[in-house]
Structure 1
């Protein structure tokens, strides 16, 4: 099992344990904030399961049917996750408003505090482990998981604080108000996930910094006169680069091939942990105006 898949498996099991504990205590105590946190943990588990599947599928090799691999499964998973999370956020807001209207109080406050404290410690341990995996693999899915669980750590802390306030002051409305805020926050986070999913499916380019590095590599290559039609995209753990290089018209094929290989090697060195699919076309002159007419480049 690869390290990214191990990370998503550990995240799934952690979320499962926390979800069960929070659901039991949430319904025992009547705390909407704890129930909201439980739903968030259930969603975390679902997300980690999808991430595990996405990692496994995206790591599969290209075949005769999927020539470019299956990296875009991450975009589909992100869309599903985002919509699912948005629905849960709306439910949390509804529950918070309903309990305010019906003046439902919280019971078993002590056990609610204990389970949220346990949740914070477990989430902290998971965040540290995911940070280690990201440092080792720089995997995009694990980076997303790490960011998500970091926000969970803050959410759990907020719920814990609200429970302590309720215990000390008896003002249980803070619990319901916080649950509504958590619901709004969840919907906001979900919108970011949906946006990322759309970008993957619509072939968003590589990040600005990476594209600039590619441009610098090409510009510094001594025998490359110019370049055009630079296009990039990503799918799973694969980065795709297409570009036209302008070389001397009477250059021998062997030398042109050597130059192209040199450029490819330098581009791959930008992030050795990624799989790079690079397609470089050699031109004897700048034909970008022709390509623009054919709508092949911007």
Structure 2
């Protein structure tokens, strides 16, 4: 089993444990913050299951129906996860506002505090594990999952703080007010995940820094007289690069291929933590103007 898939199994198991813990004490105590946290963990469970499905399918080899593989399942999963985070944040905001309008007394405060302490400890260990996997694999789904559970640490901490203050002061408004802060933070954290996933789904080009590394590598090849039509995109853990290389008309096809193969290896070395696919078109003369005319027709 790939380390990424193993990570989703671990996160799914942890989410299931947290759902049982929080849902039980949330119903008994009547705390909106704890109940909202339980529902958020239930969404975590759903997302982790979806992430396992996404990674399982993303690693399948290309076939007749998907010639380039299913790598875009990964950014799709990241967009869905970011959306789930935002929706759960909106639910927390709604429940917090309801409690402000219609205050309710809380029960089992000490038991709720104990559950939230355990939740923070368990979630912190999970985030450390997911971050280590994300660092090794640079997998977008695992990075999104790690960020998701990181927001849970802050939200659980805020819930714990609210419970502690309610226990000390008896002021019930502390619970929904901190719930509102949690919701706003979760939405703020989800936006970069959604943005990155959407850009990848839309085949956005690589960053300017990555493009600069690619062009510098191409221009370092002395056997190439020019190049044009450089195109890049990223799909999950895969990077695609295509370019037209211009050679001297007198070069043999064999020698041109040797140069292209050498350049391909150099480009792959630029992104060692990714699966790099390079498509090189070899031109005996600069046909960039002809290509531009054809594209406008």
TM-score class, shorter-chain normalisation, is over 0.9
What TM-score do the two structures reach when normalised by structure 2?
Answer: 0.92
Is residue 209 from structure 1 mapped to residue 209 from structure 2 by the alignment? Answer: yes
CA displacement at 1:80 relative to structure 2: 3.6
SS at match of 1:269: helix
Contact 2:225 2:247 in 1 (8 A): yes
Range with greater deviation from structure 2 (265-274 or 239-248) = 265-274
Superposition map of 1:111-260 within 5 A:
111-260=111-260
CA displacement at 1:52 relative to structure 2: 1.2
Contact 1:74 1:200 in 2 (8 A): no
CA displacement at 1:286 relative to structure 2: 2.6
Is residue 57 from structure 1 mapped to residue 60 from structure 2 by the alignment? Answer: no
Rounded Cα–Cα distance in structure 2 between residues aligned with 1:128 and 1:229: 42
Unaligned regions of 5+ residues in structure 2, if any?
A: none
Q: How many residues align?
A: 296
CA displacement at 1:263 relative to structure 2: 1.0
Rounded Cα–Cα distance in structure 1 between residues aligned with 2:270 and 2:246: 22
CA displacement at 1:54 relative to structure 2: 1.2
Rounded Cα–Cα distance in structure 1 between residues aligned with 2:40 and 2:274: 31
- Alignment correspondent of 2:295: 295
Rounded Cα–Cα distance in structure 1 between residues aligned with 2:133 and 2:86: 28
CA displacement at 1:271 relative to structure 2: 2.4
Taking only aligned residues, the RMSD between alpha carbons, in angstroms, comes to 1.9
Structure 1 outlier segments of 4+, above 6 Å:
none
SS at match of 1:295: helix
Is residue 262 from structure 1 mapped to residue 262 from structure 2 by the alignment? Answer: yes
Contact 1:36 1:183 in 2 (8 A): no
Rounded Cα–Cα distance in structure 1 between residues aligned with 2:140 and 2:194: 15
What TM-score do the two structures reach when normalised by structure 1?
Answer: 0.92
Unaligned regions of 5+ residues in structure 1, if any?
A: none
Q: Is the alpha carbon distance of 1:119 and 1:166 closer, same or farther for their aligned partners in structure 2, counting shifts above 3 Å?
A: same
- Alignment correspondent of 1:6: 6
Contact 2:78 2:140 in 1 (8 A): no
Rounded Cα–Cα distance in structure 1 between residues aligned with 2:57 and 2:77: 11
Contact 1:234 1:240 in 2 (8 A): yes
Q: Is the alpha carbon distance of 1:82 and 1:168 closer, same or farther for their aligned partners in structure 2, counting shifts above 3 Å?
A: same
